[in-house]
Amino acid sequence: MVNPDPAGPAEVPAQELGRRLLQRRFTARLLPQLRLLVEECAAREGLCEPRRGEFVLAVDEIAGNAVEHAGGSGRLVLRRVGDELECRISDAGPGFSEAVIPELLPGLDGATKGRGLWLARLVADRFAVTAGAPGTGMTGAVVTLAVRLR
């Protein structure tokens, strides 16, 4: 494979990489275990209730969407980045953009889908949907959600 950047890969400062807490590939069968692991990591990092429960629910919704709509599996990376707990979920599905997320709670605006994405965006202090990341084996979407720990 040819590196598209002749100067080589860019150096990323360590503080931007954060500290990896959890990395897992998952399927529907592994979702209950994934929820527990995310909850344990969030508690260990000091994310207090009720924010911890909200964060775990949001992560579960995004992971469930990857299983349901993007080929039955995904990859989760949970990191501590500064004063945030950041979760990235990637999949190999068809991809989507934030434009599909309803502005109002689905059901109130006539939309029948998008409740999990809507909830995750509402709960997160930082939320983004991007195209799949090269080198991860996941070409669909990457959903990043983060909450502040303090």
pLDDT digits (tens, 9 = 90+) for 59-87: 999 999 999 999 899 999 999 999 999 99
pLDDT tier at 115, thresholds 50, 70, 90: confident
What mean pLDDT is predicted for residues 111-120? 78
What mean pLDDT is predicted for residues 2-15? 41
Burial (CB count within 10 angstroms: exposed 0-12, middle 13-18, buried 19+), residue 125 = middle
What are the C-alpha distances in Å from 57 to residues 3, 60, 149? Answer: 38, 5, 16
What mean pLDDT is predicted for residues 90-102? 84
DSSP three-state, residue 48: coil
What are the C-alpha distances in Å from 21 to residues 24, 55, 113, 138? Answer: 10, 15, 31, 20
User: In 51-114, where does DSSP find H-type helix?
Assistant: 51-69
Q: What is the pLDDT of residue 10?
A: 42
pLDDT tier at 138, thresholds 50, 70, 90: low
Q: What is the pLDDT of residue 88?
A: 97
Please write the tens of the pLDDT for every residue from 32-56: 999 999 999 999 999 999 999 999 9
pLDDT tier at 14, thresholds 50, 70, 90: very low
